[in-house]
Structure 1
Amino acid sequence: MERPIFSFWVNEFWGGNLFANGGGGIMCCAKFEGDTVKVTWILDMTKQQQIQGAVEERHEVQLSLPQRGRNDQYLHVRFDPGNKVRLGWSADLFSPFESSPTKAVSESIEVQ
């Protein structure tokens, strides 16, 4: 998303704020059940935009929860340009929307 997100919620559970063009955050300890969730978000604005009389830009969408795998623990919420939202589960904190980094293996070498 090209604008920062001032605040967002998934089923009324607050997820914090997010930087524009990437970055993210972690919200803890919510349980999402059922077939759908409601995602609500407010776009951030600059002080200058506030002074000029910009109004709060609030969005809301009802989305189907994606299929959850046996080991999936983390629901990822991705905000894309055009106020589009995607949901995806993962077993770890790596985004299901991007390829996972290769896990580095460290080897110890004994020096004599």
Structure 2
Amino acid sequence: MELLENHWKAPFGIQNRTAEDSEEALPAVDRHLIIAFRKTKKESQRRFWARFGVTQSRGSRFESGAEIPPPVSILLGLYLTKTISDSDLGRAERVIYSKEAAALLNPGQ
């Protein structure tokens, strides 16, 4: 697991980022590390990728080499470095799908 944590420290080190860095593309996520982590946890693709709002088929494409969008890549980095947990992701999902969030997104309805 130390290898995973070291992999995400440099690219996603928020304290080292500047305004200029935000314009640069994030480095590609190593799909082999993601697969190894998922298998270590003994999780199916469906269960693993669902916590990031990704379908099983899309997660499979990511694991096969498709480019991972920056928001998903950032969540993966935060999750694999244990900055955020399953409960954090669950709370965020509940907020996103709450009636209050729907009212904010559709104020006239």
Normalising by structure 2, we get a TM-score of 0.30
Relative CO higher for 1 or 2, CA cutoff 8 Å, sep ≥ 6? 2
More helix, by proportion:
2
Normalising by structure 1, we get a TM-score of 0.30
Answer with 1 or 2: which has the greater Rg: 1
